[in-house]
Amino acid sequence: MEISGLYFVTDSRLSKQGILQDVKKVIEAGCRIVQYREKEKSLEEKTAEAKELAVLCRGKGVLFIMNNDVEIAVAVEADGVHLGQEDMPLEKAREVLGESKIIGITVHNVKEALEAEKHGADYVSVSPIFHTDTKKDAGKPAGIELIEEAKERVKLPIVAIGGINEGNVQEVIKAGADSVAVISAIACSENPKEAAQRIIRKIAKVKEN
């Protein structure tokens, strides 16, 4: 399945309805990629939650990506894993997961994007595009210029992340992003399904033109 459109990333600290409900709602809205990102729960809790989400996504034909933890990704038969620059090296993750699984990497500049491509990543997540409160150590916003430059020089699908919402998603897609990762604009919403639908519609409008 291709990396495109809305890419929802869970956050239990921000969620108003719980991440299982968030994921159900974004899938109903038409989201085809979900990443489970959990920083505070125990390994046992994370594994159980990831398994439940993996089964849900699999049943709906939605890609399920595990954030950072390759071992949990294997245990729950996730479709892939998303790694940061400080996580397990890509080559090691590939060795564990095999060729059929998706591996995405967070990058903060074109040099890191080219390195990820060279080492066999399936997509790069350029970050942060705008100011974000979700990740305190995200660094200074790179702006849409990073998307434009990465699109020009990297052949991999580009996922944009960091402060993306209904108000700015169209300029992100116009800049060349294949997919947009969204956390708070959906998780903090009173109606995650409607929030996701609005973003999906805005993406579709740009792609239609």
Domains of the chain by start residue, with CATH: 5-208 (3.20.20.70)
What lies within 8 Å, CB to CB, of 43 at 6+ separation is: 72
**Residue 78: what pLDDT?**
99
Ligand-binding site membership of 134 (annotated):
yes
Residue 16 CA to residue 25 CA, distance in Å, equals 12
Residue type, 36: Y
Residue type, 196: A
Mean pLDDT over residues 133-159, rounded? 88
Residue 26 has pLDDT above 90, yes or no: yes
- Tokens for 1, please give them: 């399945």
Do residues 19 and 192 lie in contact, with contact meaning Cβ atoms separated by under 8 Å? no
Residue 209 CA to residue 206 CA, distance in Å, equals 5
> pLDDT digits over 50-99, tens only?
999 999 999 999 999 999 999 999 999 999 999 999 999 999 999 999 99
Residue 33 CA to residue 117 CA, distance in Å, equals 21
Ligand-binding site membership of 3 (annotated):
no
Ligand-binding site membership of 12 (annotated):
no
Q: For the whole model, what pTM was predicted?
A: 0.96
Ligand-binding site membership of 37 (annotated):
yes
**Residue 131: what pLDDT?**
85
Ligand-binding site membership of 87 (annotated):
yes
The dihedral through the CA atoms of 182, 206, 29, 123 has a sign that is negative
